[in-house]
Amino acid sequence: MNNYKAHTSEIIFKLSLQIHQIDRIFINQPCHSLSRCLNCRKAAYETNSFNWRKAVIGRLNHVAIAVPDLESASAQYRDTLGAKVNSPQDEPDHGVTVVFIELPNTKIELLQPLGENSPIQGFLDKNPSGGIHHICYEVDDILAARDTLKASGARILGTGDPKIGAHGKPVLFLHPKDFTGTLIELEQL
């Protein structure tokens, strides 16, 4: 009986994948994103078109928080929470001033707009008190990670070419709509 159940489940699973693939063909559009679509993830896994066993991301590098007042936020982390707070550094290529807060297992990056065209100004306009802006994961090879993610349907922000980030290493950003509403930064080790 258990064999029959397992075989039936496998047939239903394969049929649902085929229906999903047919829908994609008739709609004539790629699926919205492998990161959200269970059927596409299962299909990619079943057909070995994507190696899900090899993780694209490594450890958490930092959590970035956009703040309206960098000095006040830095003082709160230093004086109230007792954290090690580094000096502010301007990142004109990214339109922000950053302060890194070092923790035993990761970092917090405080962001304040730098200049009129800062990409985080819109975020602060919607969230005047500030808030979590993005999370950053480490990758071994940023170009390989980019290519793998693009092949899976993820969108890379900007030109798709890495820029040098606040740590002096190449970074890329991934579209938040492809990752449950979270802006993701990738940083090469």
- One-character DSSP codes across the chain: -HHHHHHHHHHHHHHHHHHHHHHHHHHTS--S-TTT-HHHHHHHHHTTSS-TTS-S--SEEEEEEE-S-HHHHHHIIIIIT--EEPPPEEETTTTEEEEEEE-SS-EEEEEEE-STT-TTHHHHHH-TT-EEEEEEEEES-HHHHHHHHHHTTPPBSTTSS-EE-TTSSEEEEE-GGGTTT--EEEEE-
Question: What's the total number of domains in the chain?
Answer: 2
**Structural domain harbouring 22:** 2-46
185 noted as active-site residue: yes
Rounded mean pLDDT of 114-118?
89
pLDDT of res. 17: 46
Flag whether 40 is in a domain.
yes
Pair 98, 158 in one domain: yes
Specify whether 65 is located in the same domain as 30: no
Give the model confidence (pLDDT) of 123-166 as tens digits.
999 999 999 999 999 999 999 999 999 999 999 999 999 999 88
Q: Pick the catalytic residue from 71, 109, 185, 187.
A: 185
Output the domain CATH number for residue 101.
3.10.180.10
Share of the chain above pLDDT 90, in %: 65
19-43 pLDDT, tens digit per residue, is 444 344 333 344 544 444 555 545 5
Higher pLDDT, residue 56 or 61 = 61
Q: Which residue did the predictor score with more confidence, 54 or 133?
A: 133
